[in-house]
Each structure stands twice: as structure tokens, then as C-alpha cells.
Structure 1
């Protein structure tokens, strides 16, 4: 593979695409790559195409770049497919996921991974990803699908059930970002820290966090006990105090994966732990504004385009598979193959679930690491989220809409704020509001 063919699906996510393009084209071995940019929004696609050419000039690369609204053209013969779509977009889907629950008294922070918002996002996303994967089976069966789309665990699990022939790895930046945050809290350069992390996406924990062979957990625990922690990280430091391990995903995310921090009648908890309700809609509005700013800068030839390497794993995987240079990245894969051909990566999590573990990558592709057993309290907490993921995936795969309600009923945060009648009514209302974004067999009853 001398000239890799790389398809960007959802390339209208211009800022994210820019970062990945900069990462990829900064490698001399990838500078001549065949880049295919695909999106259904022509205006956004045009902006990303301009970005791609400017990034290439900035880093001195000479890729072949095409932009197309024809998905088949983008996928045809692709060695790598990078997926960054958002089904339903901010308007109407994300707004619906926040505003309808709010009317029932259910408050959320991000709503894209678990909870009622995560369930709805999975219902509208997994079928689209599966349809795309069937196209990959036809047009690029040997591709590696790099999925950046949430809800990560449910997407990976659903694709494993529906289109197992396509090799897929889910990529997130929570592991490496959190390592940087903790290093900053401790005043240690992150490159001097050794860590091992495992679990499920957005609920993986550092099993080892060391500096020069010494565990840093005593120092982290001292910070947690002192209360002198960054105000945006109070939730995670509190969980460190209770569980003995630090979780990878941000406090605003994690606060809605558990029943402890957002509870009806306990707004004092929101203040104590600095829980930012409605954070994701604010973030979306900011990102939309960022896209407008980027478009304006692109139209000004005198405005320099800054290209710096991000912490995303995508370019590292592509570079390692093209050159053979071995690396370790963190990827989301199934805990064990559905055909039973190998044992579990994390021994005390279910056979059939998606896990986030370190993976060796070289010319042979993604090779996950077998972790063994993790601390039982961590496995138990993860299981509360896996229950919701399992039932949501089961609903999508079988078309049994009752499992959507079961998933919502078992969700830790939803059940902390609503009773059963409210959960059933809210779920049906959301299915009705999302309409054709939801597969026909799962849509709201008349």
C-alpha cells in the first residue's frame, strides 16, 4: 500500500476534518495520499475541500483530493474510511434529545453516549452506519473503518451484529486527553507518564498511572481528598475517592452515566460538583460559529491557516499500517469475536459488549490487548451502562421496540429522575418526535 486511499465520510465536519487532514498529510509517507471527501451538505463540503488544499500547501504535501456527494465514489476501493457523521444534526435531532426530556423533568449534560439522548442517537445512527458498511462490503471489503461517531459503544456493537465482515475500530480521544489533564494537575510532563487503561468507551479507567516506576495514584488521591481540584473535574475526582481509580471521560459526560450527581430535588449536587446542564447544545452552537469563522478565514487569502498535530489516533493508525511502524493506540472493539474464535479481552465483562483497550497497530492492522480481570467495582459500574447498550442494540437488530423502553428503564440517570410511567411516556414521545430518523419498525405507536 504505497498510496493509501482515504475516504472521509461526513467531511462537512470541517474543523475535525482539518485536524485529521493535517495529521495525515504531515507524514511524508502519506503526503501523496488519495483523499476522498464525502458529505451530503454541498456548502460544507466545499469549505472542507478548500481546507484540504490549504492544509496540503501548508505542510508541503501533494495529495489527490476529490470532494463528492456520491458516497459510492468516495468509498470505491478505499483502504481507510474515516467516519464522522451526525445523523439528524444539531437541528432537529440534538435539540429534540434535550428539549423533550426537559419537559418531563429529565436534565442532561451531553446526551450523546448513554441516557435517553444516547439511546435515541443510537437508534438513528446505527442503521445508517450499517447501511454504509454494507456499501463497504461491496466497494472496499478490505478497508479499515475508523469510526469517530457516538454513541461509540453502541455503534461498534451494532455494526458487529449487523455487518461483521467490515473491520471496524472506534476511536475516541478521552484516554489521551485525560492523561494530559492529570499530568497537568500533578505538574509532570505527560510524556514521562506510563499508563494502562481499559473498560468501555467513556467509562474506561486507568489501571496503572505511573511516573518513573512509581504509582501516581497516592498523589491523585491526596488531591481528591484535599478538594483542591479543577472545578470542572469535581465529579471524576469524587469517583476516584469512591472507586480508587480515575475514569477517562470528562466530568460533564460522566455525571449522566451514573445516578449520583443529577437527581430530582437535589440541585445542591449540581452546584457542589459543578455539573453543567445543557453543555452539549452550547458546545454545538459554538462549533457552528467556529465553522462560520473558518469559512470567513478561508475566503481571505491573507489569513494564515495554522496546522498543528492533534492527539487523534486516526493518522497514527494509517501511518503504521502503511509503513509498518508499530504503535500502541486505544481502540473500541468487541470484547470477544461474535463467532467465538477467541477469548475475552476483559475477563469480567460480558462476551458480547464493546470495550476500549490498548491495541498494537502495524502492517497487520489492529491487534487488541488481552487485559484479564479488572477491579470488580469498576466492572460492576460498567455493567450498568452495558445493560442499556445491550438492550438498545437488541432493539435495532431485532426490530423489537419494547427493548427501547427497557433500555430507558435501566438507564442509571433516567431512573434517578423519572418514574416508570414518565419513562415510558418520554420514550414514546421521543420516538414520535424523531419520526423518520428512527427505523420504521421502531417508530412510535399510533
Structure 2
């Protein structure tokens, strides 16, 4: 990549109504890069609408970066000469996700997200891994030198698939869950010490773990050790939870009062660095016993009918912008994808959390396992930063998921239904079921995926 030249971004899933618009706005606000964005999606109509939307955003009076958006008919056309590839796809449909999340409720299993672990996360992986294997092969053939940013869940298994198919790929996964914990620590400083932190990036954290099950064992602000302060903060708010504004957690299904995070700190002495909705699904600690228990812990079960309503609202919003009825809002998304691209293109350097193969940055984890740690990003380089080792009790919890995710991956790649059932039964949310109930739930859920698995014996 040559500093100052026009760049090309291939967006796989270019009909996206969420991540794509955020990227378009963030690109528009950055004057140091410009170029073209090729939008590829299996829904060509959605990609064409995003072509119009992206070009409107680029033409906005407040836009500093100038980009040309083009919907393309094939993934090969999107990838040709790409400097960056962004993958943000919905693997399947929201109807599929509705089955992922809500069918297990008949067996007493409640899921707060259902896209990473648990029965829903496993079945989503079964759909997603073959899709990512195909995308990885296309990248290998048409854009082998591009940097690849993945936003799709289950993130660890998506990135794992990219490296399995194309070991030389330059790929990583981006997730904003750690950002929320940095903001919580900033809010803690205001609450406990009256210190106003201007930007969450001023909170420096050491990140260890896997996506959505990440941990922080060191945190500081301008040389101030935050762990002792967090211990006092947790002691004060562990029962009622902490809300920067009253009833934050009630007004948005994506918010919580951090009670799960606080409980985990009291158990293990580390800061759990994902949101409560994700953390609860990795553990058999009773946070998801039933909807009433979830309410007491002050987080939410994110129903898929709500996601469908959100999708429809975004569609209407896009239509209104394209028709001129509404104005597009140009404000930063808070994501770091564009800043990472800037650093990779040679515009400075940065440290941020990413998901990439373990090269020894987490001690005691298998080489090549997809882990989430900090990395130093600079011109055409992403170097993981040594994070150290998790305490034994937390290490065992995380390693259980590392092993089970690998078992899911191998089962899907081999199209082995029996191996997949074993991994399914070992998940903490499923392990409480009898073998017969677990097998029955598995059979129903896998049967619903028959259209995605034509070569499987289902």
C-alpha cells in the first residue's frame, strides 16, 4: 500500500443496513483516505441501495473523505485489486436465528444473544463456516495481499475458517465489546474520584481471552492503577448494578447494569471485558436460568422479533434518506475499523484489541487458536502484544470454550454429525440437559439447517 494513493475496499455483505452505513460515515469523516468501495451481496437490490446511500454520504457537505460506491454482481469483481476486504454477513436469515435462539426455550435453555456459543451459537456456526470457507477461497484467488476485517459472529470460528482455508491470509476480527468496558472504567473514575475522562481510549487495558469471553487483568489511566478502584466500585454497586443514567438497562435491550460483570470480578478478581448478555452464555452459573432471573441480574434476552423490528426500521430509515425525506446523520460510529485501516495504510500506528491466531501472546493457549488480545497496528503490519496468562480458574473456563469451538469447527469441516452432537452436548448451556433431551434438541435444530447442508446426512 502506497501512502496517498486511491484505495479499494471490497465489502462482502455490502447490502448491510448496520455495519455498512457506519463504515460509510466513518470513511466520510476521514480526509486522509479516499478511493472506491465495491459492494457485493447475495441481495443485489440491497447492495444497489447502499451504493446510492454511500455516494450520498460521500457527497455530504461535511464529508472529508471522498469515496465512490459501486454495487457489483460477483465476489470476484469486488475482490479484484482490493487493498482491504470487509466481511459483514448475516449467515442465513433472521428466521433461522429465531430458531437458534427460541427453539431451545422449549427445553428450558434461554439465550441472551445466541450468536457465539450455546445451542444458537453452535448452529449459527454450522451455517457460517461453509460460507466463510468459500469467501476465504475467493480471497486466496483474487485478493491474496489484501487485509481482511471480519465483523461476523461467531467471530472466533469465522476467523479460524479464514486461516484454515488460506493460511497466509492477513485477517483479523473486530469487536467493540472491550470498548464498552473501557467506557465503564471511565464512568467509574467519574463516580469514584470525580475524574472526567475525555475519550475511552485513554483507559489502557490488557486484554486476554476469546471473543465475547475476554478478560482484563491490568487497567490504568494516566499511570493510575484501576483494579483497586474497580474493586471498591464493584463492592458499592454489585447488588443494585451501575447505571450512568437512571434505568439505562431498561431503556435498551443491548444495555445492562453490569451485575454479571461485577459478580465475575468478585469470583475471579479479573474484569470481564464483554457485555453481560454475552458473558452469561459462556457460563453455567445460573444467570440465564429463566427470564425472571435474567431480570434480577439486570440484563436482557434479546428476542429475534425485536431484531426483525430493528431491521424493518433500518430499511425504512434508508428509504427515507434515499427519497430525501430524511437527512443522513454524519457522526462517528465509535468503531475502530477505519482507524485500523489508516494505520495499515501507513498513516501512523495504534494499539487496539483484535481477534487473530495465537502466536504466543496468550501463554497456555494452543498455537493458532483464535484469541482476542491487543495488537500493535502500523504500516502493513499487525503484531500481537504479549498479554501473559490467565489465572488457572479463568484459564480453564476459557480453554473449555477454545476446545469446544475447535470441536465444532472440525465437525463442520468433516460434515460429521456425531462429532457435532458431542460438541453440542458439552456446551455449558446444554450440559444440564439429559443426553436424550440434548440429542432431541440437536436433531430438531440441525434438521432446520438442511437447506444449508446439502452434503450432510440429515
Calculate the TM-score normalised by the size of structure 1.
0.91
Aligned residues: 431
Pairing 1:220-239 to 2, within 5 Å after superposition: 220-226=230-236, 227-230=239-242, 232=256, 233-239=258-264
Deviations 1:123-149 (A, max 9, x none): 111111111111111111111111000
Which stretch shows the higher mean deviation, 156-165 or 5-14? Answer: 156-165
SS of structure 1 residue aligned to 2:371: strand
- The alignment's C-alpha RMSD in Å is 2.0
Deviations 1:234-290 (A, max 9, x none): 1111111111111121111111110012465x666334313423x151541242133
Does structure 1 residue 424 correspond to structure 2 residue 439? yes
1:340 paired residue number: none
SS of structure 1 residue aligned to 2:304: helix
SS of structure 1 residue aligned to 2:103: helix
Does structure 1 residue 29 correspond to structure 2 residue 66? no
Does structure 1 residue 140 correspond to structure 2 residue 140? no
Which stretch shows the higher mean deviation, 370-379 or 50-59? Answer: 370-379
1:69 paired residue number: 73
2:85 paired residue number: 81
Deviations 1:279-306 (A, max 9, x none): 1515412421331232232134263211
Deviations 1:60-112 (A, max 9, x none): 44323211232111111211110000111212x10111232122222211110
2:207 paired residue number: 197
Residue 319 of structure 1 deviates from its aligned partner by 0.9
Does structure 1 residue 314 correspond to structure 2 residue 314? no
* Residue from 411, 415, 433 that aligns with 2:448: 433
* Residue from 161, 166, 169 that aligns with 2:172: 169
- From the superposition, tell whether residues 300 and 399 of structure 1 become closer, same or farther in structure 2 (CA, over 3 Å): closer
2:382 paired residue number: 366
- From the superposition, tell whether residues 214 and 384 of structure 1 become closer, same or farther in structure 2 (CA, over 3 Å): same
* Residue from 155, 160, 165 that aligns with 2:163: 160
Residue 315 of structure 1 deviates from its aligned partner by 0.7
Residue 208 of structure 1 deviates from its aligned partner by 1.3
- From the superposition, tell whether residues 349 and 247 of structure 1 become closer, same or farther in structure 2 (CA, over 3 Å): same
**Is the Cα contact below 8 Å between 2:287 and 2:297 reproduced in 1?**
no
**Is the Cα contact below 8 Å between 1:198 and 1:357 reproduced in 2?**
yes
Residue 390 of structure 1 deviates from its aligned partner by 1.3
Unaligned runs of 5+ in 2: 191-195, 243-248, 250-255
Runs of 4+ aligned structure 1 residues displaced above 3 Å come to: 266-269
Does structure 1 residue 404 correspond to structure 2 residue 420? yes
1:151 paired residue number: 154
**Is the Cα contact below 8 Å between 2:362 and 2:387 reproduced in 1?**
yes
1:339 paired residue number: none
SS of structure 2 residue aligned to 1:34: strand
Residue 24 of structure 1 deviates from its aligned partner by 2.2
- From the superposition, tell whether residues 24 and 62 of structure 1 become closer, same or farther in structure 2 (CA, over 3 Å): closer
SS of structure 1 residue aligned to 2:59: helix
SS of structure 1 residue aligned to 2:144: coil
**Is the Cα contact below 8 Å between 1:124 and 1:437 reproduced in 2?**
yes
- From the superposition, tell whether residues 365 and 191 of structure 1 become closer, same or farther in structure 2 (CA, over 3 Å): closer
Partner Cα distance (2:84, 2:57) in 1:
20
Which stretch shows the higher mean deviation, 396-405 or 234-243? Answer: 396-405
* Residue from 124, 130, 135 that aligns with 1:127: 130
2:221 paired residue number: 211
Unaligned runs of 5+ in 1: 337-343
Partner Cα distance (1:113, 1:246) in 2:
20
Partner Cα distance (1:114, 1:383) in 2:
13
2:115 paired residue number: 112
1:385 paired residue number: 401
Residue 352 of structure 1 deviates from its aligned partner by 4.0
